[in-house]
Chains A and B, each alone.
Chain A
Amino acid sequence: MAEHVVSRKTYIVVWIALMALMVLTAGLSRIDLGEWSTVVAMAIAVIKALLVILFFMHVRYEDQKITWVVVIAGFFWLGILLALSMTDYLSRGYLGVAGH
């Protein structure tokens, strides 16, 4: 039971999608989207990363469920680090300083 063989065609289609997304994000950065530009840039980055992880890194074809768990856990823990750190930084200004 060797690993799933992904066809060359799939790889090339994914690569074309990655290149297209890269052109899109580079082009959109030249247009003012206001508050949305960061959101859009990060959304495109996430899609690109997902394409690489799911296809190039074979996670989509992985029959070991644990690989999915490991990948999701990695990003979930990164989320914990970023989110809980930001609870501090985003709420620091809420409470005024006595005497000011």
Chain B
Amino acid sequence: MHDSSAVATHGLRHHFADMEQQRASATLGMWVFLVTEIMFFGGLFAAYLVYRTAHYDAWVIGSEHMNFWLGTINTVILLCSSLLVALAVHAVQVGQNRMCAIYLWIASAMGVAFLALKGIEYHAHFVEGAVPGALWKLAVPDPRAVQMFFYIYFVMTGLHALHVTIGVALLAVIGWHAARGRYSPVYYSPVHVSGLYWHFVDVVWIFLYPLLYLIAHKKA
């Protein structure tokens, strides 16, 4: 067993034997939670796959109405914010709480930027009439299946945006704790597990980007 007397026990909860057990539990806990999240999005990916197979042409039309550049910029934003979160973990591991906080806050701000761009996109869809239901104005072949594409688009990106919102708040709060020096190279699990959550949000977007934005351009 580990000699726990030698390591600092600041942040150790009563039911854990030592810091290592607590850290390993937190990491595993977040991973198991993320698996739940994979399956949560998984139901939507299944719907996407089934309907894309059935209505491929409608999917191409729908994708043509996506804003390629906003989608690409948002991808860049999320990839950069993921790098910052990774650097935040590095900073706290080497004892630089202040740097950790700055990285987390910038990443959080980038999440806000992502949401803002997403909002501009949604607004454009509303103006264009690319909203399934009564507001639908797009004159396209097979309008019903194209509406289905937009329905799935709104549900998938909406659920993703909800996760980004939670992540933005999480990173901001953890950054605040870091700035107040709550973490140390021995105890930094909250930074690490919030980072895992943010990277997961990034991974979901890595799949949403080609599945929603990049279909149309393959047409010769």
Chain A residues close to B by CB (< 8 Å): 1-3, 5-8, 11-12, 14-15, 18-19, 22, 25-26, 29-30, 32-34, 37-38, 41-42, 44-45, 48-49, 52-53, 55-58, 62, 64, 66-67, 70-71, 73-75, 77-78, 81-82, 85-86, 89-90
Give bound CA distance, A85 to B90, whole Å: 42
Complex contact B206–A52 (CB within 8 A) = yes
A12 with B83: CB separation less than 8 A: yes
In the complex, the answer to whether B79 meets A22 with C-beta atoms within 8 Å is yes
Given that A74-B38, A74-B39 are contacting pairs, would A89 and B45 also be in contact in the complex, using a CB cutoff of 8 Å? no
The reply to whether A75 and B38 contact each other, CB–CB distance below 8 Å, is yes
Q: B217 near A29 (CB under 8 angstroms)?
A: yes
Q: How far is the CA of A42 from the CA of B86 in the complex (A)?
A: 24
User: Which of B43, B79, B210 is close to A18, meaning CB atoms less than 8 Å apart?
Assistant: B79
**Choice from B28, B196, B207 contacting A66 with Cβ under 8 Å:** B28
Q: Is the CB of A52 within 8 A of B203?
A: yes
Instruction: Verify if B53 is at the interface (C-beta below 8 Å from A).
Output: yes
Are the CB atoms of A52 and B199 closer together than 8 Å? yes
Q: Is the CB of B206 within 8 A of A45?
A: yes
Rounded to whole Å, the gap between the CB of B6 and the closest CB of chain A is 11
Looking at chain A's contact residues, the main secondary structure is helix
B121 at the interface (CB under 8 A from A): no
Q: Which residues of A contact B192 (CB under 8 A)?
A: 3, 58
Contact with A along B185-218 (1 / 0, CB 8 A): 1100000100110011011001101100111011
* A85-B50 contact in complex given A11-B83, A52-B199, A53-B203, C-beta closer than 8 Å: yes
Binding site for A on B (CB under 8 A): 2, 20, 23-24, 27-28, 31-32, 34-35, 38-39, 42-43, 45-46, 49-50, 53-54, 68, 72, 75-76, 79-80, 82-83, 85-87, 89-90, 93-94, 185-186, 192, 195-196, 199-200, 202-203, 206-207, 209-210, 213-215, 217-220
Q: Are B31 and A37 in contact (CB under 8 A)?
A: no
Residues of B within 8 A of A53 (CB): 199, 203
Q: Is the CB of B207 within 8 A of A45?
A: yes
- A-B contacts, 16 listed (Cβ < 8 Å): A2-B186, A5-B93, A6-B86, A11-B86, A41-B210, A41-B214, A49-B203, A55-B86, A64-B28, A70-B31, A71-B31, A73-B35, A74-B39, A77-B39, A81-B39, A89-B53
B residues near A19, Cβ cutoff 8 Å? 76, 79
Given contacts A19-B76, A67-B31, A78-B45, contact A56 B85 (CB under 8 A): yes
Task: Choose among A14, A32, A62 the residue that contacts B220 (Cβ–Cβ < 8 A).
Answer: A32
**Inter-chain pairs besides A7-B90, A45-B207, A58-B89, 10 sampled, C-beta below 8 Å:** A49-B206, A49-B207, A52-B206, A55-B86, A70-B28, A74-B39, A77-B35, A78-B38, A81-B43, A81-B46
Complex CA–CA separation, A62 to B180 (angstroms)? 28
- B217 / chain A contacts, CB cutoff of 8 Å: 29-30
A52 and B199 CA atoms in complex are apart in Å by: 7
Check if B90 sits within 8 Å of A86, measured CB to CB: no
